[in-house]
Amino acid sequence: MSSVLIVAEHFQGKLNPSSAKCVTCAKSIAGAEIDIVVLAVDAAAVAKEAAALAGVRRVLTLERPENAEALAAVWAPQIAELARNYSHVFGPSTTFGKDLLPRVAALLGVGQISDVMAVESAQRFRRPVYAANAVITVEAPAGNIVVATVRTASYQPAAGGGTASIERAQVNATLPTHTRFVSRSAANADRPDLQTATRVVSGGRALASAENFKLLYGLADALGAAVGASRAAVDAGYAANDLQVGQTGKIIAPELYVALGISGAIQHLTGIKDARTIVAVNKDSEAPIFEVADIGLVGDLFQIVPELERLIRARGG
Amino acid sequence: MSPILVGVKRVIDFSVRVRVKPDGSGVMTDGVKMSINPFDEIALEEALRLKERNLAGEVIAIGIGPGEAQQQLRTALAMGADRAVLVQVDSPVEPLTAAQVFLKLVQKHQPQLVILGKQAIDDDNGQTGQMLAALWDRPQATFASKVEIDGERAQVTREVDAGLETISIDLPAVVTTDLRLNEPRYIKLPDIMKAKKKPLDVIKLSDLGVTPPAQSIRTLKFEPPAARSRGVMVKDAAELVAALKQRGVL
Ligand SMILES: Cc1cc2nc3c(=O)[nH]c(=O)nc-3n(C[C@H](O)[C@H](O)[C@H](O)COP(=O)(O)OP(=O)(O)OC[C@H]3O[C@@H](n4cnc5c(N)ncnc54)[C@H](O)[C@@H]3O)c2cc1C
Ligand SMILES: Nc1ncnc2c1ncn2[C@@H]1O[C@H](COP(=O)(O)O)[C@@H](O)[C@H]1O
C-alpha cells in the first residue's frame, strides 16, 4: 500500500496551486493514501485549503516559529522525520521544491526523482532529461522511500470539495540556526502569475531594451495574459529573472503562448512544450520557433504587436 | 585562506540537438561536442573572482566521470583553477553518490565554500548541491545570482519563482549557481599552456572510500519526446486573430 506525503508550498497564508498538482500526480499511484504537511508559524488557513483538495486523507501541521520562511536547511529535517511513516514524499518542481526535496532525500539516504511527468507504477516514473530532448523511465528500488519532485506543467490541480482531517504533527528534530532569511523582492507581483496563467505573452532579445519590452504589457493586458521572457531578454536586463521560461527557468503549460522575437532555442522550447497553442512572431522565416508554432507570422514585431493589441481590444479580449 | 571546491561536470554541449539511440539504451554521443556544464563554468568563475579579491584560497576543480573528463578539467585549469581532481568512474554516478564524493573531498580540503551548478544540463537533476549540504550538515544557498562574503558569513541572493530572495548563511556552506551570477571569462592561449603544468590528480571512488549504493534509481529506457508538429503560417495580425478564433483560443 502506497502512502504519499506531499509538502505544501504556500506563501502569505495561501496554498500554491503547485500543491494541488502534486495531489493529482500522487493520485495516479494506484490506491495511494495522500497526506499533505504544512510547515508554518500558523498553519490554519493553508491547512484548511489543503484539506479541501479532493483525494487528500489528512493534513498534518508542523507549527513552530522557525518555520516562518521556507528555508530548506530548517524544513528538511522535520520532513525527513515525518517521511519515515510514508512510502513516498512529493513536492512540486518549483524553486521551493527543487531547493527542499533533495535535502530531504539525502537525509533519508535515498536518491531523488526530479520532474515526474508520468507515474507508471508506485516505483516507476517518467521524466525529461537533456532539456526534454529525451524522456526516461526510471525505477526506484523497492523498499526505499521514493522522494520526487512533480513537474507541475504535466498535471492539472486536484479539484476542491474534499474533507480531509487536520491534525497537529510532532517531530523530534534539531533545527540549525546557520541559515537566516533576510529579504525578498518581487518585481512582477501585480501581474498574473506566469506559472498558473492560461495565457502568456513572451518576449526575446528582439525587444532590444527594457523600454521596448513594455510593448508586451499592452498586448498581455488586452489578453489578460502573464508576461514571460527568453533567457537572452532576462540576461540583457529587459525583463526580471522570474519571467524566464525554459529548461533552466519556468516550465509552463498555458492554453496560449505568444512568442515575440524569440528564436526558439532548445532550452526555451523545453519550457513551452505543453502549451496548447503556440503563436510565434519572428522576422526570420527560418527561426526554429516556427517548427513548433501552431500559428506563425513572419514580420516585424514592432509593427505587428500594436496592431494585434488593437484588434484584440476591439474584440474585447 | 581556505580553498573553494568547484564541481566541473563533463556534459554534451548545450548547442547539440540531443538524439535518443534507436534501441532506447541512451542518447547518441559519438562525435558529439562535450563541454563543461554551463552552470559549472559560472561556479568556477565565481570562485576565481573570490580568490582574486583575496576572499578565498586555492580553487580546486572536481570532476566525477570517465577518463575523457580530464579535458574539461584542463579547461577549468586554463580558466584559472589551481588544481583539479578527477574521480574516474566507468558509468555515471547518481547525485547522491556525487554528493558523497564531494563530502569526502570536503573533509580532506576543509573548504569555506563549495560552489556547484544548480543543475547539470544532461540529467537535469538539480540535486547534488542540496544533497551535499544535507550530508555535510551545512547551509545551502541554491540558484545564486549574487554572493557576498563577509568574514564567517555570506549573503546570497537567490533566483526564486517569485523574484529574488536573500539569505544569510554561516560558512562553510554550499552555493549553487544560477545564470545571472556572472559571465564566465574567455580562455587565452597562454592560459592553455600554463594549464598543462597544473596538477590534475586522477583517483578512484574506492580511494575516497565511497561505494555506490547497491540499490539505486535505475534508468530502464530512453525515448524521444512527443513531437509538436508545424502549424499554419498567417500573413498579418488580422489573419492571426482569425486563426486564434478558429482554434477556440479567443
Ligand atoms: C545552460 C543554459 C541554459 C539556458 N536556459 C534557457 C532558458 O531556460 N530559457 C531560454 O529562453 N533560454 C535559455 N538558454 C539560452 C538559449 O540557448 C538561447 O540563447 C535563448 O533562448 C535565445 O533567446 P532569444 O530567442 O530571445 O534570442 P535570439 O536567439 O537572439 O533570437 C532573437 C530572435 O528575434 C528575431 N527578431 C529580431 N528582431 C525582430 C523583430 N523586429 N521582429 C520580429 N523578430 C525579430 C530574430 O529573428 C531572432 O530569431 C540557456 C542557455 C544555456 C547555455
Ligand atoms: N559527475 C559530476 N562531476 C562533477 N560535478 C558534478 C557531477 N555531478 C554533479 N555535479 C555538480 O552538481 C551540480 C548539479 O548536478 P545535478 O544534481 O546532477 O543536476 C553540477 O552542476 C556540478 O556542479
Distance separating alpha carbons of residues B104 and B132, to the nearest angstrom: 10
Give B-chain residues touching A291 at CB under 8 angstroms. Answer: 228, 230
Does B142 contact chain A (CB < 8 Å)? yes
Find out whether the beta carbon of A234 lies less than 6 Å from any atom of ligand 1: no
Whether the per-residue pLDDT at A317 is higher than 80: the answer is no
Distance separating alpha carbons of residues A222 and A202, to the nearest angstrom: 14
Give A-chain residues touching B170 at CB under 8 angstroms. Answer: 178-179
B169–A94 CB contact, under 8 Å: no
Q: How close B147 comes to chain A (CA, Å)?
A: 14
Find out whether the beta carbon of A77 lies less than 6 Å from any atom of ligand 1: no
Among B17, B118, B134, beta carbon nearest to A107:
B134
Question: Using one digit for the tens of pLDDT, what is the confidence trace for A177-189?
Answer: 999 999 999 877 7
pLDDT of residue A190: 84
Does B100 contact chain A (CB < 8 Å)? no
Which among A241, A53, A298 is positioned nearest to A156, based on CA atoms? Answer: A53
Distance separating alpha carbons of residues B158 and A203, to the nearest angstrom: 23
Distance separating alpha carbons of residues B242 and B220, to the nearest angstrom: 45
B140–A95 CB contact, under 8 Å: no
Q: What is the pLDDT along chain B (250 residues), one digit of tens a residue?
A: 899 999 999 999 999 999 999 999 999 999 999 999 999 999 999 999 999 999 999 999 999 999 999 999 999 999 999 999 999 999 999 999 999 999 999 999 999 999 999 999 999 999 999 999 999 999 999 999 999 999 999 999 999 999 999 999 999 999 999 999 999 999 999 999 999 999 999 999 999 999 988 889 999 999 999 988 889 999 999 999 999 999 999 9
Find out whether the beta carbon of B38 lies less than 6 Å from any atom of ligand 1: yes
Q: How close B150 comes to chain A (CA, Å)?
A: 14
Amino acid at A191: R
Among A181, A183, A311, beta carbon nearest to B238:
A311
Q: What is the ipTM of this complex?
A: 0.97
Q: How close B181 comes to chain A (CA, Å)?
A: 10
